[in-house]
Amino acid sequence: MKRISALLAMILLCTGLSHAAPAGKATLPKDYEKWEKSGEKVVNDKKSLFYGIHYTYVDKKAMPAYKAGKGYPEGSRFVVVFYNIKEEGGKPVKGKKNMIVLMKRDKKFKETGGWQFAGFGPDGKPSMIDPVKNCFECHEKDAKDREYVISRYADFK
């Protein structure tokens, strides 16, 4: 009986969690490592969500709009890959991969400015995030006038 209720609790937990998942399944693009890649960015502030070392990848569709700062066509994609920071000889170097995030232009996602926001673990499996609270609110605050894309091509290189 104990086992059954534990099982039931687990099923309830799982179905509960799946409701929190973003609408429409997100998949990590397979070829993003071949897209144009930013220089290394180091965020030392441990309180920042972006703490760590990260690289931004921009696909071909998004690139002209990224350079212009607006006009992203449907399907435009950004992927950011994060690594932990390791100290080596007093210098910050790349540790383990810890998170991957995706933005994909898709007009169905009205609540998040016409972009699908998704997070993944280092293994590429989707993580349970609330795309409005965990992602969009910050992007809206920082980049409302740039179609919610925060980084700029000018500081890319």
Contacting residues for 116 by C-beta, under 8 A, at least 6 apart: 22, 24, 26, 102, 103, 104, 105, 106, 108, 109, 131
**Of 41 and 61, which has the nearer Cβ to ligand HEC?**
41
- 77, amino acid identity: R
d(CA 154, CA 157): 7
Q: Please, what is the minimum distance in Å from the beta carbon of residue 110 to ligand HEC?
A: 16
Q: Is 81 in the site for ligand HEC (CB under 6 A)?
A: no
Q: Which of 98, 96, 101 is nearest to 115 (CA)?
A: 101
- With contacts defined by CB under 6 A, name the span among 2-10, 11-19, 90-98, 133-141 that binds ligand HEC: 133-141
Out of 11, 49, 68, 128, the residue judged to bind ligand HEC by CB under 6 A = 49
Q: Is 80 in the site for ligand HEC (CB under 6 A)?
A: yes
d(CA 120, CA 80): 10
- With contacts defined by CB under 6 A, name the span among 6-14, 28-36, 81-89, 97-105 that binds ligand HEC: 97-105
Q: Is 62 in the site for ligand HEC (CB under 6 A)?
A: no
66 Cα distance to chain centroid: 17
Q: What angle do CA 119, 56, 139 make, to 5 degrees?
A: 60
Q: Is 41 in the site for ligand HEC (CB under 6 A)?
A: yes
Give me the residue label for tokens 């997100």. Answer: 26
Q: Please, what is the minimum distance in Å from the beta carbon of residue 124 to ligand HEC?
A: 14
Q: Is 113 in the site for ligand HEC (CB under 6 A)?
A: no
Binding site for ligand HEC (CB under 6 A): 41, 49-50, 56, 78, 80, 101-103, 117-119, 129, 134-135, 138-139, 149-151
